[in-house]
Amino acid sequence: MTNLVFLKGDLKKFIVRVSTEGFIKCCLKYKASPRRIAKLNNLSYLPEKGELVVFEILNTFLYEVKPNENFECICNKFSVSEDELFDVNLTREFYPWQIIEIPKKTLD
């Protein structure tokens, strides 16, 4: 069982202990891209079972990059601006099968 510890006053950020399933599955469970969570934690390695990792939930959904798709193509496909896509993924370079986050459109 995973216990969540929310950071004081911020229900979007919380700490998770990496389960036996591993870091990638943990990211998928909380609907966050592994690359963004790794950057958020300044990780240069794949966290192992038992390590604590800070997660931040954004208003996004996960998407797996297809072969021959690039940053601009994905922006057009989901009608998001380049700035919006960059802000949630912290990169403009994607590669096939990478799991990225796409900003959800909010109703005004």
pTM over the 0.85 mark: no
**Under 8 Å between Cβ of 89 and 32:** no
- Residue-wise over 33-62: b if at least 16 C-beta within 10 A, else e? bbbbbbeeeeeeeebeeeeebebeeeebee
pLDDT in tens, 37-82: 999 999 998 898 999 999 988 999 999 999 999 999 999 999 999 9
